[in-house]
């Protein structure tokens, strides 16, 4: 059975070039990068190079990149670092209702400590309204944190415009760019951000590595205290193996696959041609990631649909518990009805995706989804093997 992977927003395979740069660090480069001798200095140089590669991708400087264990830690450092830096002074944070749990849950934690958090909504396309962000600002606001691209729908947020609002009011601005790095051009100066999160496993690097861009001059309280690693912001001997892998992945990301958008558009066109009004787009029609297509097969349970095509790896936007359907908070906030939202499926394409794979998936969907007399789509018991 030849499998098809269309879940690149969840995680990416390691790029071959990334694997190659990791190999020498498994055998030859074992020294501590802080050690000033023959075993440590070469490792320190590799770490510097990796930091420079990450910085180059986003238009930052090397000293503005802090390596972390992934996107979640980077988000936590941004949120908690700002909050504890302002402890006893101001305590208000603005974010959105459609953020990843790596933002929502740290905010909930900080609320237990006394933070005030405003969660702004989005429109039916999943876009934040600028006036809602500005209206939420108070004299106590210390941070605005809004994702660059939504992981479910791929909808891109007006980050530059939000950054300008934050700058006008003298408020720090953070964006979680875990999903957008390597898929669209990201430049921290253009986006007007003070902090930006990167997650390695969304970028053809390993899991367990990420980075936080922190604009020079921004002060944060560290999460991990100890020695002065990572410019004093993350104690602990650096994981040079994974940092080098992330650096190489960022270097490769400077040359994205321009064909991905064409394949995504081709998939959407084929789905519309085959299923007409029984398939609906979730998310912005144009302002979204070039690899992401979140669609609802109306009247069908997305999880059951994917279960009927076992060779296909994709994600669903609803969960089925004891016979009831629970929509994702993102779709719910966008105003997607249960009838539509329960059939949501996210297809996220990657560098290796082919047109042949797209065609194969659409043909399988046609076999599983059959129109009945009322023109509604009904899930058959047919189990497609591919």
Q: How far apart are CA 314 and CA 102, in angstroms?
A: 21
Respond yes or no: is residue 250 known to be catalytic.
no
Q: How far apart are CA 171 and CA 255, in angstroms?
A: 33
Q: How far apart are CA 286 and CA 36, in angstroms?
A: 52
Q: How far apart are CA 350 and CA 221, in angstroms?
A: 37
Strand partners, 316: 345
Q: How many CB atoms sit inside 10 A of residue 199's CB?
A: 27
Q: How many CB atoms sit inside 10 A of residue 3's CB?
A: 10
Q: How far apart are CA 63 and CA 204, in angstroms?
A: 24
Contact 147, 99 (CB under 8 A): yes
Query: Residue 76, CB half-sphere, CA atoms under 13 Å: how many?
Result: 16
Residue the block writes with tokens 């990416």: 12
Q: How far apart are CA 68 and CA 224, in angstroms?
A: 11
Q: How far apart are CA 90 and CA 328, in angstroms?
A: 32
Query: Which one from 320, 325, 362, 384 is the annotated catalytic residue?
Result: 320
Contact 292, 7 (CB under 8 A): no
- Residue 332, classed as helix, strand or coil, is helix
Active site residues: 320
């Amino acid at each position: 059975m030849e499998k098809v992977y269309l879940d690149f927003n969840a995680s990416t395979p390691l790029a071959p070039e990334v694997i190659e740069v990791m190999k020498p660090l498994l055998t030859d480069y074992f020294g501590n990068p802080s050690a000033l001798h023959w075993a440590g200095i070469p490792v320190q140089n590799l770490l510097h190079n990796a930091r420079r590669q990450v910085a180059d991708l986003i238009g930052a400087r090397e000293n503005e990149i802090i390596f972390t264990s992934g996107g979640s830690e980077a988000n936590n450092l941004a949120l908690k670092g700002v909050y504890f830096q302002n402890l006893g002074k101001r305590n208000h944070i603005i974010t959105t209702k459609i953020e990843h749990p790596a933002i929502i849950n740290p905010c909930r934690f900080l609320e237990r400590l006394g933070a005030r958090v405003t969660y702004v909504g989005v429109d039916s396309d999943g876009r934040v309204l600028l006036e809602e962000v500005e209206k939420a600002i108070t004299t106590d606001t210390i941070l605005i944190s809004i994702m660059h691209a939504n992981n479910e729908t791929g909808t891109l947020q007006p980050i530059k415009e939000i950054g300008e609002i934050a700058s006008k009011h003298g408020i720090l601005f953070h964006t979680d760019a875990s999903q957008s790095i390597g898929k669209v051009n990201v430049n921290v100066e253009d986006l007007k951000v003070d902090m930006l999160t990167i997650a390695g496993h969304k970028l053809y690097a390993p899991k367990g590595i990420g980075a936080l861009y922190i604009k020079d001059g921004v002060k944060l309280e560290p999460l991990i205290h100890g020695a002065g690693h990572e410019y004093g912001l993350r104690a602990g001997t650096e994981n040079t193996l994974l940092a080098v892998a992330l650096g190489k992945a960022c270097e490769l990301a400077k040359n994205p696959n321009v064909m991905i958008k064409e394949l995504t558009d081709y998939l959407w066109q084929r789905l519309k041609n085959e299923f007409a009004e029984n398939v609906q787009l979730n998310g912005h029609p144009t302002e979204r990631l070039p690899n992401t297509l979140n669609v609802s097969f109306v009247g069908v349970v997305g999880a059951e649909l994917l279960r009927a095509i076992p060779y296909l790896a994709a994600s669903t936007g609803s969960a089925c518990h004891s016979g009831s359907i629970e929509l994702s908070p993102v779709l719910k906030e966008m105003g997607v009805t249960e009838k539509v939202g329960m059939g949501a499926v996210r297809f996220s394409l990657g560098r290796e995706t082919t047109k042949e794979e797209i065609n194969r998936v659409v043909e399988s969907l046609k076999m599983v989804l059959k129109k009945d007399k009322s023109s509604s789509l009904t899930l058959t018991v047919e189990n497609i093997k591919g």
